Each structure stands twice: as C-alpha cells, then as structure tokens.
Chain A
Amino acid sequence: MHPVARLVNRNLTISLNPGFLVWQVVFPLIYVFVAGFAYSSLIDRVPFGGRDLAYPAYLATGMIGFNIMNSTLVSGVIIWNDRRNGMFEQIMSGPFTRTHYILASVLTQGIVGLASAGLIAGLGLAAYYDQAEPGLEAIPLVVFAAVTGSLLFGSTASIISTRLKTSEGFNVMINTVFLFFAFVSTAFYPAAGAPEPLATAFYLNPLTYLVDVVRAGMLGGGLTDLVLAEMAALAVLAAGLFALATRLLTRLDF
C-alpha cells in the first residue's frame, strides 16, 4: 500500500469512534428532523430561486453543507491531537514524509466530508424529497462543495492546530471559528430578512457559499451568477488556505 493510503487508513481508524459518529450523524439528523419540523410553525415558507420552500427542505440541504464543515473541522483536529499525543513526531520518524502526512490529512478530510454529505443527503431525504429538483448538475455540485469545503475547513483547522500551543487557546479558537461559520451563514436561515449588517456578514462566510452551491444542486436553484461566483470563491479560498496550511505544517518544528 502507498504510504499516503496507509496514513489515510490510520486517520480514519482513529477518528471513527462512537463520539465522532454521534456528532457527525446523530446531531445533524436531530437538527433536520426535530428543528426542521418544529420551526415549521414559525417559519412557514422560505423563498428560494423564485419559489417557496418548506423549512425542513431548506434546513436539510443546509445541513449537508454544515456537516461538510463540521466533519472536516473535526478531522483537521487530527493534526492537533497528533502533536499533543506525540504521534506527529513518531510518524515523521517513520517511513513517511511531510508531504505524505499533508496529503493523507487532506484525503481523510475529503473522504469524511463526502461521506457526511452523502449521509445527510441520504438520511435526510425524507425532509426534502418532495421539494428536491436535482438536475444533472446535482451530483457534481455536491461533490464540488464537499471537496472544496473539506479542503477549506480542513486547512483552517490545520492552520489553527499548527499555530496554537495551549489546549485552552486551541479549543477557544476552534469553537469561535465553528460558531461563526455555523451561525453567521445561510445554513439555518436565509439572508433575506436578516437585519442588514448581519445579512452582509452571511456573505463573508464560506459556509454560505457552500450551502448555496449544495442547494443549487439539490433544489434546482440553477447555476446563477451568484452561485458561480460563490464556486469561484470556494475554489480560491480552498487553494489559498491549503497552501498556507501546507506551508505551516512543513515548517512545524519538533
């Protein structure tokens, strides 16, 4: 087996524990089915692409994007744990290079991102299937979102992992980033209707682009100029953050 494949195998084994699965699968499903339907009495319809959507369908597709971010932030944390548990040094003293380690971490994040996007898309189907209008572009768009999203958020977590020294600092940082990305976005609610500075802030957040792309694919919003611009932004941000994460990881001292 190739060294990168061996590292991916190892990364997946150490991260797929019951706690991770609850966080990745059970929580998002509770959101989709409990919050989605419970909020329906408050939020009747959500305007989307010239039509009105039921809130559960809006939320379920938002959760696909949310889950890509959530799971890859968590898998980006592998680097932090490896440093803390001495495994980074141990791996680097074995038959691997830093490039192997970085590629493996990206691939792990990509696999986890795709799997969780697929899981929520599949298991959450009941919440949105009557509203779904997946065109030919649905699958490529969700895959694009999963791949760029994984790179972007995985790299963000890696950057935080390499820069911070204390557990407290690390936890505060990861949680702040998580809260901002998750709640200042269109994953849970539309930007239209939010008070002005907030509505703009929604569009300074890559998770918004991510869920917009997912919704364009799953709910038939189509490739509007906005979605195309968001895809371009995702690609640029993912590439930039990945380059930075790689640079930092390559220079990380023992």
Chain B
Amino acid sequence: MQCIRARSLTKSYGGAGRPAVDGIDLSVGAGSVFGFLGPNGAGKSTTIKMLTTLIRPDSGDLSVFGIDALRFPLEVRRRIGVVLQQASYEPTLTVSGALEKYGMMWDVPAAERRRRAGRLLEEFDLSEIRGKRNDDLSMGQRRRVQVAREFMHDMDLLFLDEPTVGMDPAARRALLDSLRRRAKSGLTIFYTTHVLAEAEYICDEIAIIKGGRTVAAGSPESLKSRFGSGREVRIRVPSRDGRIPALLGGVDGCSVSVDAGTEIRVRPSGSNEALLRVLRVLGSHGIEIDNLSAAPANLEETFLRVVEEEPGAPGR
C-alpha cells in the first residue's frame, strides 16, 4: 500500500526564478523507511514542507494515506509527526514540561501524557535534564528533546528532516535503533540526512535529488550496484617502473593514474573488463603485482557519484 504518492510537485520561492523543487515524483510504501538525500539546496526541506502541507506546491498532485493532501491538509496533519530541520522549542518550559504540553496539544489524555513523557525521557536519555529549561539546553540536547517530543502523540507517518544534526554518536545510534523498532511495528518514516551511513543503516528505499529533481531512486543495494560498479581499484607494484604510465595510458574503458610511488589507481568507466585488460598488460610486460584492493561500494561513494554525474536541473 502507498503511504505517500506525489506527482510532479513543483515549488518556486518568490514566484519567478529557478524552482526549488522542479517536478518531483515520489511513492513511499506504508511501513517503509524512505531516505531522501541530496546536496545542500537540493530541495529536500522544501519537499518535506509540501508533503507535510506546510506550504502548497505551485503545481502537482499529492496524496497521503490516500487523502488528497491539497484539499484536506488538516486530515493529513492529524496523522503525521514532523521534526523539521529548523529547531523548535518552548524556551520557558522545562524538558518534561515541554513534552507534556506537546502531548496536551495533541489531545493525549493527562495520564497517558505522563506515562509517555516518562518513557521518552528514559529512551532519549533526558532524565538528568528533565527539570532544565529548554532555553538552557545545549544544541544537541535541544534536538533530542525536539525529536523525543514528536513521539508524544500517535501517528502513521513520521517526517524527520536531518534529525541527528548536533547529536552525539550514542544519541544518534539510539535514535536510529528506536526508529528501526518503530518502523517494524508499522510506522512509515520519511528520513533526510547528509550522513549516508545513517541512511544505509535504516532506509529501505532511497531517492537522491539534485536541483529540485530526482536523479536516482531505489533500494540502497540497487543504487550501490548501479552506481558503485565504477569504483576505484588500487594496484600496488613492488617498485617504481617508468614504463607504467605509457603502457596503461592506452587501455580503453578506464582512467588510470600513477602516483610518484608504487600505486596505480584504475577507475573503470563501464564494466570491470577494463580492469582485466590492465592486469593483462601489466602481466605481459613482466610487472608483478604486490597487492590489489577495491574499496567496497558504500552509499556515500554512490551518492557522490550520482550527485557529480547526474545533471539535475539545468544551471545547477
């Protein structure tokens, strides 16, 4: 079942000019963790604001839970949780006071509010600072309160726009694990981050956008195998050999760089056959190989490649 279905969403700020979001299609399955990646200014937050009905797209269609979100935004908002990129907090309230007040705003009954607040203070390691005013918190603490607060109410879909910014490694890991747990019990999560290891850790599906357009989409595995094949292979030879640059310069299908020492870097541009040709050339000239290594494809590398190579919107 589809939880979010967006067709050709577009949004320009200030009317004219280059659109911040330029015809994005999205389809997010219920119960999945959907990673939404892209460089700074790609249009991620703008898209999230449209999906959460904070701003209206200039054009396009959007349905969330099968509800037409442009016509019935309140119906959608009643069932979603939103942690925006921008910090939000009640400066004069204490940490536990802020959680409870937020629960009240969502009409959670008083006894249930206290129970949830207590549990979330534990889960997000906030018990020690429960009596501190939000004004006096560190940036990472404030972010933890903001994320924890969102779990005061029930929801079917949660948007998180770079939730882990400012969090320490333990807090990050705790959040990711708790998101995984919640996703297992049916929550759909729409997740944005620049830390690709996070996306790799929790996302089932990923879309990479650039210049307001989708440039790649699929499961992390499929993206890695699609874009990670051209990864660099490093060949180490026992001693420096002046012939190597000339010998390998003529091999088709890859780019080769030889450093001043003994390392040759081969970057096949298509299939891995070019690598075989390199090895054959080296062998036929009696050049021995000490070591051969390929960095495993990771999402970060894939991301960098996609963002580097795919055009996105013109002029970006």
Binding site for B on A (CB under 8 A): 1, 6-7, 9-10, 13-14, 17, 81, 85-87, 89-97, 253-254
- For this complex, 29 residue pairs linking A to B, each with C-beta atoms less than 8 Å apart, are A1-B107, A7-B105, A13-B97, A14-B90, A14-B92, A14-B101, A17-B92, A81-B91, A85-B87, A85-B89, A85-B90, A87-B88, A89-B54, A89-B84, A89-B86, A89-B88, A91-B105, A93-B54, A93-B80, A93-B82, A94-B82, A94-B105, A95-B77, A95-B105, A96-B74, A97-B74, A253-B55, A254-B54, A254-B55
Q: Is the CB of A95 within 8 A of B88?
A: no
Tell me, rounded to whole Å, the shortest Cβ–Cβ distance linking B88 to chain A.
Answer: 3
Contact across chains for B86 and A95 when beta carbons are under 8 A apart: no
Q: Report the minimal beta-carbon distance from B53 to chain A, rounded to whole angstroms.
A: 8
Interface size class of B (residues with CB under 8 A): 20 to 34
Residue of B nearest to A16 (CB): B92
In angstroms, Cα B104 to Cα A7, docked, is 9
Contact with A along B86-119 (1 / 0, CB 8 A): 1111111100010001001111000000000000
Chain A nearest CB: distance from B272 CB in Å? 47
Q: Does any Cβ of A come within 8 Å of B49's Cβ?
A: yes
Q: Does B78 contact A (CB under 8 A)?
A: yes
- Nearest CB on A from B289, distance (A): 57
Separation of A254 and B88 alpha carbons in the complex (Å):
13
Q: Mark B68-80, 1 if CB is under 8 A from A, else 0.
A: 0000001001101
Chain A residues with Cβ under 8 A from B77's Cβ? 93-96
CB within 8 Å for A86 and B89 given contacts A92-B54, A97-B74: yes
**B141 part of interface (Cβ distance < 8 Å):** no
Q: Residues of A contacting B47 with CB < 8 Å?
A: none
- Whether B91 lies near A93 (C-beta < 8 A) is no
**Please, which residues of chain B bring their CB within 8 A of the CB of A89?**
54, 84, 86, 88
> Residue B164 at the A interface, CB < 8 A?
no
- When distances are taken between beta carbons in the complex, the residues of chain B under 8 Å from A253 are 55
Specify the chain A residue showing the minimal Cβ separation from B135. A85
Nearest A residue to B82 by beta-carbon distance? A93
Among A13, A86, A91, contact of B86 (Cβ-Cβ < 8 Å): A86
How far is it, in angstroms, between the C-alpha of A14 and the C-alpha of B133 when the chains are bound? 12
Closest to B149 in A: A90
- Partner of B88 from A1, A13, A90, A97 at Cβ < 8 Å: A90
Q: Does B52 contact A (CB under 8 A)?
A: yes
Residues of A within 8 A of B53 (CB): 93
Are B105 and A10 within 8 A (Cβ)? yes
Contacts of A94 in B (CB 8 A): 77, 82, 105-106
Residues of A within 8 A of B80 (CB): 93
Q: Is the CB of B78 within 8 A of A95?
A: yes
Main secondary structure of the interface of B (DSSP, over half): loop
Q: How far is the CA of A254 from the CA of B13 in the complex (A)?
A: 10
**Chain B, range 21-52, C-beta contacts under 8 Å to A:** 49, 52
Q: How far is the CA of A97 from the CA of B54 in the complex (A)?
A: 10
- With a CB–CB cut-off of 8 A, which chain A residues contact B92? 14, 17
The CB with the most chain B CB atoms within 10 A, among A86, A90, A95, A97, is that of: A90
Question: Which B residues, 138 to 190, have Cβ-Cβ distances below 8 Å to chain A?
Answer: none
Q: Which of B55, B89, B90, B104 has the most CB of A within 10 A?
A: B90
Report the minimum CB–CB distance from A16 to chain B (whole Å). Answer: 9
User: Nearest Cβ in chain B — how far from A185, in angstroms?
Assistant: 30
Are the C-beta atoms of B104 and A87 separated by less than 8 Å?
A: no
Contact status of A14 and B93, CB under 8 A, knowing A6-B104, A6-B107? yes
Residue in A closest to B159 when the chains form the complex, CB atoms: A93
B91 touches A85 (CB 8 A): yes
Report yes or no: B104 in contact with A9, Cβ–Cβ below 8 A: yes
Query: Which of chain A's residues have a CB closer than 8 A to the CB of B84?
Result: 86, 89-90, 93
- Cα distance, A90 to B105, chains bound together (Å): 11
Rounded to whole angstroms, the CA-CA distance of A9 and B107 in the bound complex is 11
CB-based contact A13/B107 at 8 Å = no
Q: A96–B53 Cα gap in the complex (Å)?
A: 11
> Please, how many angstroms separate the alpha-carbon atoms of A17 and B94 in the complex?
12
Verify B87–A10 contact, CB threshold 8 A. no
Whose C-beta in chain B lies nearest to the C-beta of A7?
A: B105
B105 and A254 form a contact (CB under 8 A): no
B93 CB contacts on chain A under 8 angstroms: 13-14
Query: How many Å lie between the Cα of A34 and that of B221 in the bound state?
Result: 76
Given B49, B54, B104, which contacts A10 in the complex, CB threshold below 8 Å? B104
Q: When the two chains form their complex, are residues A87 and B54 in contact, meaning their CB atoms are under 8 A apart?
A: no
**What residues on B are CB-neighbors of A7 within 8 Å?**
105
Residue of B nearest to A15 (CB): B92
Q: A93: shortest Cβ distance to chain B, in Å?
A: 4
Q: Across the interface, which residues of A come within 8 angstroms of B82, CB to CB?
A: 90, 93-94
Docked-complex contact B101 and A10, CB < 8 angstroms = yes
Q: B105: which A residues are within 8 A, CB to CB?
A: 6-7, 10, 91, 94-95
What distance in Å separates the Cβ of A248 from its nearest Cβ neighbour in chain B?
17
Closest 7 CB pairs of A and B: A86-B88, A90-B88, A93-B82, A86-B86, A95-B78, A93-B52, A17-B92
Chain B 1-20 residues near chain A, CB threshold 8 A:
none
Which residues from A are CB-within-8-Å of B104?
6, 9-10
A95–B89 alpha-carbon span in the complex (Å): 17
How far apart are the CA atoms of A14 and B92 in the complex, in Å?
Answer: 6
